[in-house]
Structure 1
Amino acid sequence: MNTIDVEVQLRGGSRWSATICTVGRVRTLMERWATSGEALGGRYSWCSDGLIVRDASISNTVKVLADLIDNGEFTQILNRLED
């Protein structure tokens, strides 16, 4: 699993989403796009609620999301979903 979509619901009821990709997945996409011509020949990659991790396992994803909450970066990276 190289890319996962997550939805997080915080205690206050707000809901947030993110697309989590591994470094390897981004590398693979950019190499593919270098051949296909997409994204200016693989020169960039972006995602509006993207989060790049080394390991997309559940345990690592939980740790990463908890750290983002603890250090106050959570709302800067994830997209808030409408109620």
Structure 2
Amino acid sequence: MGAGDPYVTVTEPTFVARFLVGPDTTEESVANVDVFVDLPDGSRWALTVFSLAEVHRLLARWRETGEAAGGSYFWAVDQLIVPEPGVPAMTAAIRELVRSGELAYAGVRCEDPDA
């Protein structure tokens, strides 16, 4: 993440992933992040990645605020849940989605090349 660059970029042979890590979060602790994945074929995919603990935290907060029927459910269109926080754990999951071809089912294809 360079000065003024909001992304943590991970470049692998089969994809480039750009994690939109907030200024108050580290690569090791990020638990809720938007990610753009670029494939060699030119396609771009968007995912929102959550750690299990982050899903639990959100549900607990929503029980208090009444959101999502009092925390009775959690969903996101492009959701990927990983067991641990951090860019390395998230990258491992993305690597497997790319390898298995399941990225097309888990992510949302971006039509805007500037996404």
CA distance in 1, matches of 2:51, 2:92: 15
Residue in 1 that maps onto 2:107 = 78
1:18-67 deviation per Cα after TM superposition (whole angstroms, max 9, x unaligned): 00011111101111111111101100011110111112322222211111
Letter in 1 for 2:91: V
Residue in 1 that maps onto 2:97 = 68
Residue in 2 that maps onto 1:51 = 80
Q: Which has the higher contact order (CA 8 A, sep 6+)?
A: 1
Q: Is the 8 A contact 1:20 1:56 kept in 2?
A: no
Letter in 1 for 2:83: R
Counting matched residue pairs gives 83
DSSP 3-state at the match of 1:60: helix
The runs of 4+ residues in structure 1 deviating greater than 3 Å are none
1:30-49 matches, within 5 Å, as 30-49=59-78
Residue in 1 that maps onto 2:52 = 23
DSSP 3-state at the match of 1:47: coil
Identity, % of aligned pairs?
A: 35
* Structure 1: runs of 5 or more not aligned: none
How far residue 72 of structure 1 moved from its aligned partner, in angstroms, is: 2.2
How far residue 11 of structure 1 moved from its aligned partner, in angstroms, is: 0.1
* Structure 2: runs of 5 or more not aligned: 1-29
Normalising by the residue count of structure 2, what TM-score does the alignment of the two structures yield? 0.68
